[in-house]
Amino acid sequence: GRASRARRTRSACGNARSRSWATTSSCGGTRGAGRRRYSRGDRRHTGRNGIVPKYWMVTQGPEIFGKTRELGCSRHAFKSTRSKMVYRIEAGDALVFYVTGKKQIAGAVRVTSGIVEESTRIWQSSKKPDELYPFRVDTEPLVELDEEQWLDAEPYHDRMEWTQRWPREHWTLAYQGNLREIPEGDFEVLLADLQEAAQKAPAKA
């Protein structure tokens, strides 16, 4: 009946979401048409193991993101000041990287582990020499771009939901802080454009 058809439709959406994250080219041809609004009653797509993923905007300087790239985007680290928020990150969530100074969106990864706290010095910032970035998580790339392919973040202010809390002339305020949860629709807009940029990249020799 209708109920069983609805269940099959929701299941298919969840499976499609998992497949769309598998490679950078799987949904690169689909661009976000604009902002999508979500209410508390909306049903979000489930990811692997039936867990509803969360989506995070991660703000860091070039040195920190450079170390993550050096590690093949297999791990990332968060500031010690984010002790409460980081433990909300779970395997299956997605991170999108915003690089300060450049003011650009640089890539996206899927989280593959829970948060662990470590004291070994791996990520270092010349602006914060005493910061260990102790909260760390394993990841796998969704989209990796060369620096010249990074996306300017300013135009996305008008296309995304979460940025509307700040006035257009002060759009960078949306990226203050190391970590911020964003709506699924905003993540989809960014992921599609990142994938499109990756597809347009010239083939490496």
Mean pLDDT of the region 43-55: 68
Give the separation between CA 15 and CA 52, rounded to whole angstroms: 12
pLDDT tens, residue by residue, 188-205: 999 999 999 999 877 765
pLDDT tens-digit map of 128-176:
899 999 999 999 999 999 999 999 999 999 999 999 999 999 999 999 9
CA atoms within 13 A on the CB side of 90: 10
Q: Provide the pLDDT confidence category of residue 71 given band limits of 50, 70 and 90.
A: very high
**Separation CA 123–CA 131 (nearest Å):** 9
Look at the block and give the residue holding tokens 């499609």.
16
Per the model's pLDDT, the better-predicted residue between 204 and 75 turns out to be 75
Q: Which residues of 149-180 are buried (b: 16+ CB within 10 A; e: fewer)?
A: bbbebeebbebbbbbeeeeeeebeebbeebbb
pLDDT given at position 202: 77
Is the domain spanning 2-29+47-200 CATH 3.10.590.10? The answer is yes
* Lookup: tokens for 34: 């604009």
Dig out the tokens for 57 from the structure. 């905007």
User: Hey, what are 88's tokens?
Assistant: 């909300």
Whether 30 has a pLDDT exceeding 50, the answer reads no
| Strand positions, DSSP E, 61-203 | 75-78, 94-99, 104-111, 116-117, 135-144, 151-152, 179-182
**Residue 171 C-alpha from the chain's centroid:** 18
Q: Inform me whether the pLDDT recorded for 74 exceeds 90.
A: yes
**Stretch 47-72: mean pLDDT:** 89
**CA 84/CA 176 separation, integer angstroms:** 17
